[in-house]
Amino acid sequence: MSQMSHPDVVGVFDPATHTISYVVSDPATGAAAIIDPVLDFDPAAARTSTGSVERLLEIVATGGLRLEHVLETHAHADHLTGAHEIRERTGAPVSIGAQITRVQKTFGDLFEAADVRPDASAFDRTWADGDRFRLGGLEVEVLHTPGHTPACVSYRIGDAVFVGDTLFMPDFGTARCDFPGGDARTLYRSVQRLLALPDDTRMFVGHDYLPKGRDAFAWETTVAAQKAGNIHVGGGRSEAEFVAMREARDATLAAPQLILPSLQINIRAGALPPAEPSGRRFLKTPLNAL
């Protein structure tokens, strides 16, 4: 492939949440995007900090890059997004899949968040399936890949695809489907769409957890490796087999530790809840709601 179709990719691993954020750039023009940034959060102290954001922005600065986009693959349930912090510092627009409105409706109602309108207005842009936009000389294609959540999208940029929580490394499998609007059958079909990309497509995942037998975190694989060896969907596993496995597995999983703080921040594109008259901001914990 030509250089123009081969973006530079730097992954930044967050050990607290096992999230990988990416700085993706066009080597010809220096145009860059940050995908799935993390806002650090200490749940015991209810304190946010910006070390992860600063690491990403340092990569942009030291590489002489021009940040043009902050791209979210979905509203994450396991970490707070640093998207708003980056937008405040750089002016880069924050975008997400258009179905975020469904997630905003569900969780805006759960948290009784009067400021959250289910119209995606917290974000600068939303993307529908098949949308395309430029990143310097590169073309970005948006693929709607629901199943983990109804709003998940993947971003195909040249010979790379960023799949969020749809697929993990081959030895770890696939994402859970038991969140509101999630569906194992839908996820299987989204995965098949990703596996239909060219075999040599580089695939970058949103999280990594160390399965037994591996001692180093990893986040880059290929479509060919996923088709051949993904423990949940590789080797031609049928839809019925996958759905049975995924639903049985999901029934055993606890809620993510940060699901409640994460979602009330992430449906606001990373902005904190409005201040109370005292000037303090509060996160809500709805009891017996999950």
Q: Kindly report, residue by residue over 231-260, the tens digit of the pLDDT.
A: 999 999 999 999 999 999 999 999 999 999
Tens of pLDDT, residue by residue over 199-213, are: 999 999 999 999 999
- Tally the domains of the chain: 1
- Supply the pLDDT for residue 210: 92
Report yes or no on 270 lying in a domain. Answer: no
- Supply the pLDDT for residue 290: 81
Report yes or no on 260 lying in a domain. Answer: no
Q: Is the pLDDT of residue 69 over 70?
A: yes
- Supply the pLDDT for residue 2: 39
- Supply the pLDDT for residue 3: 40
Tens of pLDDT, residue by residue over 14-23, are: 999 999 999 9
Question: Which CATH number do you get for residue 121?
Answer: 3.60.15.10
Report yes or no on 230 lying in a domain. Answer: yes
Report yes or no on 176 lying in a domain. Answer: yes
Share of the chain above pLDDT 70, in %: 99
Report yes or no on 8 lying in a domain. Answer: yes
- Asked if 80 and 261 touch (Cβ cutoff 8 Å), the reply is yes
Report yes or no on 36 lying in a domain. Answer: yes
Amino acid identity of residue 178, one-letter, is: D
Report yes or no on 289 lying in a domain. Answer: no
Domain that holds residue 154: 3-253
The angle at the Cα of 21, spanning 133 to 175, to the nearest 5 degrees, equals 95
- Predicted TM-score (pTM) of the model is 0.96
* Helix, strand, coil share (%) of the chain residues, nearest 5: 25, 25, 50
Neighbour tally for 51: CB within 10 Å:
11
- Supply the pLDDT for residue 1: 37
Report yes or no on 275 lying in a domain. Answer: no
